[in-house]
Each structure stands twice: as structure tokens, then as C-alpha cells.
Amino acid sequence: MSALINLEGRVAVVTGASRGIGESIARAFAGAGARLVLAARKPEALADVAASIEAAGGQALAVPAHTGREEEVRSLIRAAVERFGKVDVLVNNAATNPHFGPLLDVEEQAWEKTFEVNLKGYFLCAREVIRHLQGRGAPGAIVNLASVAGIRAAPMQGVYGMTKAAVISMTQTLAYEVGGTGIRVNAVAPGLVETRFSAAIVGSEELRNLVVSRTPLGRHAMPSEIAGAALYLASDAASFVNGHVLVVDGGFTVH
């Protein structure tokens, strides 16, 4: 491993870490030397991931939390500081997409839930970690998981796409506002990734082929292929990368 692409001595909070992309990022970060604080709403699956990381020689703390709720976010960061003394890196990954269908058919409850988790949750976590970093005068890195759905039309996933577009805007604004204190804020925008979250597309031969046919690499991604991008942005290898959206989509957006 490159001397630059490592997280030795750093503490990273990863949300949505109980499965999928979040779990892969947590495992990649552990392999790079980070101590992990894992957050998700389902405690059993979260505890299993933490135990697996520790069994492999890493250090991981599981903290069940709903990131759309301010007090739970504060408790999450407090728990991280109490266990490891600090937080250096945040990966905002927790997301939801309860409405799959035409945008005009979305119900208000689904709209509210999507914005609460995908946007408000990212903001609350970022704000709490930034305040912590600035309070101790330390540099840090925030990596927000966006999506190509936030930079292209998102048919059947319109509300999800809107939240991801807003995540990109938030990423750029925070990067501008806090970069002077040594805190870098970047985003990863994956294309189609095989996770339980994307089962409605990956599990449908018609929808999957529609995406894959537009992807020059001719396939969809696996979660581990997104983890490498997050690791790069969190590490010193990306020390002069700020406000950037790293698209990891196999070429889907090149045309």
C-alpha cells in the first residue's frame, strides 16, 4: 500500500456501515489502519460488521443511530470521542430510497423520509464532525456518498436523485467554507452498484441491461470498487483535493 494511501492513527466514522457500500468502506478503512466507528439503524447487522473487523485485527465500535435525528448524531460523535479520543474522518453513506416510480407519484411521507436521511442526515453529521475538528484545531476529511443520479436525470428515482444533487451542492459549499481550516470535503458519485439497496434495478434483467448497455465497461460495480475511491479521498494522497465529485460509474456519464 502506498505510504500516502493509509489511515494509520486516524479515527473514521462511517454511516450506513451495516452492509453494502458502507460496509465495504469500513473494511477498506480498517485495512488501511483506521479505527472505526460504525453507524446504522439496525444494531444486529452493525454489531456483526464491527465484530468481524475486530476479529481481523482492527478496532471498531458499533453505534446504532438514525442520522436524520440531531441528538442521535451528537451521541454518535460523543461515543466516538469517548472511545477513541477524536474523529478525523467522516464518511456520509447512510441513505434510503422508499419510492421507486414516476416522480409525480411520490407520496409526501416517502419524500420526507428520503430528504431526512439522505440530505439532513449528511448535513447533521458533517456539521457535528466539523465542529469537533475545528474545536481541536485539527485537519480532517469528509467524504459524502452522492450518485450519478444527482448529476443526470434519475427516472423512477427522482426524489433520490434530488437529494444526491443537493449532497453535491452541500459538498462544494462546505469545501469552500471550511477548507481554510484544513478540512477537506469531497464526494463520490457511484453508478449502479450491486447492493441490496439497488436490488430493484440489479434484480431486474431489463433495468440492469438498460444501465449496463450505456456503460462502456459493460457491467455494474461491486461495493469494493467504490470503497477505493472513498479511501483515496480520505487519505493524504488526496491532500489537495477539495470540493471534488469523484464519479465512479464505469463510464456511464461520458455520453
**Relative orientation angle of helices 70-84 and 121-135, to the nearest 10 degrees:** 40
Catalytic residue set: 160
Sheet strands (E) in the chain: 11-15, 35-40, 60-64, 89-92, 140-145, 183-190, 245-248
Cα separation of 54 and 65, whole Å?
A: 20
Q: How is residue 123 written as a grid cell?
A: 448535513
- Phi, psi at residue 6, to the nearest 5°? -150, 160
CA dihedral 206, 207, 211, 214 (to 10 degrees): 40
CA quadruple 137, 138, 139, 145: dihedral, nearest 10: -100
Reading the block at residue 138, the C-alpha cell is 485539527
Q: CA–CA separation, 30 vs 54, rounded Å?
A: 9
